[in-house]
Structure 1
């Protein structure tokens, strides 16, 4: 049976992980630019799904869709795709391929137009390689204990953090000169995500041989995790001169409604610590949240200005994502003063991102089938 992977740039790291998982079960994924027989697999997010919907519906082959959007909207996607992998794919995708090849019903974790049975397993990272023949970033942790209202991560991967063993990370990282990691929070490695285990992070960093980039895309950190000790680990063991973390809002009231689990003061402290230790803070913000008042937006704009005096800000315009508590929220229009200020900061090279075009935000991120 020929199994094809539809080439989509935003899913390159997913391809690396699932290529390795399928290979270990005897299935080779052939990367293609169009759907081909016998089976073609797609990994989609909530922006690019619309670009491939018709292609999948009209494909003259068996189609499998997975990723953040199909996982959240599996009933809708099952109307035009033959099978939908809901959630993690390392175990489910090879099991589904075997079922298709043998003419059996799909395994749990797969939706079809006929219905859906939830997955009966959780992926242990050490059970699967982070990549194989096709290289990708090394995923060191999965899951998130927080429940930010806009975020799909805890809904896709659960709120219990899982970690790859240090020896396994070091083995795959040795294939890179520049080492980067996939994780929802780099400083949460080895912990439950709330109570940090910086001793385990130090053990990890000591085990690596190469230029290590820790706490940068695609493995940012949270602002309350930025402390004297955590920054010392970056400056002592890592090559990066930047630290990337999310503030999201300059209003404590908004942060509480988002269930962010940190305060504006945590953000300010993290920025100051970065500056004091010679690191450039790169801070994410979301504007246009549904419950953001004018004063809330002005407070966020003030925090953006403060951040850009010491570093850079990355600006997103709120987009409701399916499967999240804010999936039905309507983005709030930006104030004229906000648009003008952001325009000036962008011209000065002090902010990046997009507060008008969602695709700029989402096309820089990867997804997990």
Structure 2
């Protein structure tokens, strides 16, 4: 039995796909991993056909001896999955299973194109599917799977989550039978290719070192209305959804990776809320990390889980940079995002805790979500006013709101008639596509944290806000915004080397 696993994501880390490969190999099933980083990046709307005929030909050739092909997808990569599946359909009868976040949230839609759709965590479901297909059995009873068998459609409930994550081996970075899109060809993945792609990672560029990205847990303790985590959590219920790997399990993975890739210069922990770990676990992690790994590392934090004692322990263990979700400075939008507990007082408290370690940390990054259709001018000014109060140094990471299917905000927008063209406004929208408005221009100018607070407050005072936010100056603001975006695109290749 050979299972081919395919990732269309720009980042070759693809933690979920590599975890699936490791699990299947652990059970004696051959896997082949194909990484097809989308060359168009965040220009989602620019080109529905994401891959050239030459790439599709190589892809089909890589799948010619497959017994099952699995493709992972998020909503913005629906076109990628569809194009790859169509190419396979034209060349062979190999069954195709779609998985990942979009498949979990929109299984009915995905079932129109794939033979099977995996709902939720996929390790046990995919293993059982492969084993049943190998012996020619009936897959229609597999938990967590939708599909077609002998002309009949079946839709099974989600599979219960295992209580822990240590049953799974670390993600598959073996390089054995791994392939990658390079230029216009799909070729075997080499250590040099791994190094090149990891060098271009966002945090790697920021730190000037090559980072290895991992996750020490699954799930999130929060219920943000814009986040797909909340939608997935509804499938399982809150109980047992947030799970952690043991410290020893994580350290074994990191030691192995450092031996395999000695060029790794830091570890990038991408859990949604690493600070959500209990203090005892944080202390154990820090102790083991200092003894066994010793590289700089980065992680994510949330305002509700930020604590000075946790941060002090992590900084002592090698934490050099962190990112925290702020999202908005407006009480109205905080309530809309289901983040009222993360009000401005709580946000500033967390920021001042981080600021205490400014001599030992790089400037932190604070995330903001822009362009919500319910935002008013006062909401936008409230976010900018909060930015003017953030202790320096800092960085901003602004994202445009994408109303992902399954989220509470998607349901609200649909009910209120705000999603007139879901294909354009969701599937073909990337979170980097910020509206070229005056408020977004000010946030862009504030991204490095170097704009003087007094100047930002002046820019959002009534007269400048009324003048520069007027319809008459929209073309000027739009032109300035787009010029800055083009300049950033031109400088990005230079900054990454």
With the shorter chain as reference, the TM-score category is 0.7 to 0.9
Aligned to 1:224: 304
Aligned to 2:242: 161
Give the Cα separation in 2 of the matches to 1:347 and 1:285: 14
Aligned to 1:30: 32
Which of 19, 42, 47 is equivalent to 2:71? 42
Aligned to 2:83: 54
Aligned to 2:3: 3
Aligned to 1:89: 122
Q: Confirm or deny: 8 A CA contact 1:288 1:318 kept in the other structure.
A: yes
Q: Cα distance 1:210–1:45, how it changes in 2: closer, same or farther (>3 A)?
A: same
- Secondary structure of the residue aligned to 1:167 is helix
Q: Cα distance 1:40–1:266, how it changes in 2: closer, same or farther (>3 A)?
A: same
Deviations 1:320-369 (A, max 9, x none): 1111111242489958321331343358888xxxx999xxxxxxxxxxxx
Give the Cα separation in 1 of the matches to 2:253 and 2:242: 21
Q: Does residue 323 of structure 2 align to residue 252 of structure 1?
A: no
Aligned to 2:106: 73
Which of 15, 18, 23 is equivalent to 2:17? 15
Q: CA deviation at 1:271?
A: 1.8
Q: CA deviation at 1:74?
A: 0.6
Deviations 1:258-279 (A, max 9, x none): 1124212222122222222113
Which of 279, 282, 288 is equivalent to 1:207? 288
Q: CA deviation at 1:82?
A: 0.8
Length-normalised TM-score, structure 1: 0.84
Q: Cα distance 1:306–1:335, how it changes in 2: closer, same or farther (>3 A)?
A: farther
Deviations 1:161-198 (A, max 9, x none): 21112222222222244333342211112xxxxxxx21
Task: Tell me whether 166-175 or 298-307 shows the greater mean CA deviation.
Answer: 298-307
Deviations 1:21-40 (A, max 9, x none): 11112112212362424322
Deviations 1:89-115 (A, max 9, x none): 111111111122222232110112513
Q: CA deviation at 1:302?
A: 2.5
Q: How many residues align?
A: 343
Deviations 1:64-104 (A, max 9, x none): 11111111111001100111111101111111111222222
Q: Confirm or deny: 8 A CA contact 1:130 1:139 kept in the other structure.
A: no
Give the Cα separation in 2 of the matches to 1:215 and 1:171: 18
Q: Cα distance 1:201–1:343, how it changes in 2: closer, same or farther (>3 A)?
A: closer
Q: Confirm or deny: 8 A CA contact 1:187 1:221 kept in the other structure.
A: yes
Which of 255, 266, 279 is equivalent to 2:346? 266
Aligned to 2:156: 117
Deviations 1:115-170 (A, max 9, x none): 31013321331110232444874432112232110111243355332111222222
Length-normalised TM-score, structure 2: 0.63
Aligned to 1:148: 224
Aligned to 1:130: 170
- Select the structure that is richer in helix: 2
Q: Confirm or deny: 8 A CA contact 1:17 1:129 kept in the other structure.
A: yes
Aligned to 1:298: 381
Aligned to 2:445: 344
Q: Does residue 407 of structure 2 align to residue 317 of structure 1?
A: no
Runs of 4+ residues over 6 Å off in structure 1: 347-350
Q: Cα distance 1:205–1:176, how it changes in 2: closer, same or farther (>3 A)?
A: farther
Q: Cα distance 1:274–1:141, how it changes in 2: closer, same or farther (>3 A)?
A: same
- Secondary structure of the residue aligned to 2:409 is coil
Aligned to 1:64: 97
Task: Tell me whether 341-350 or 118-127 shows the greater mean CA deviation.
Answer: 341-350
Which of 366, 372, 377 is equivalent to 1:289? 372
- Secondary structure of the residue aligned to 1:245 is strand
Structure 1 residue runs of 5 or longer lacking an equivalent are 190-196, 358-369
Give the Cα separation in 2 of the matches to 1:304 and 1:105: 57
Give the Cα separation in 2 of the matches to 1:83 and 1:57: 15
Give the Cα separation in 1 of the matches to 2:225 and 2:24: 33
- Secondary structure of the residue aligned to 2:285 is helix
Q: Cα distance 1:89–1:212, how it changes in 2: closer, same or farther (>3 A)?
A: farther
Structure of greater Rg: 2
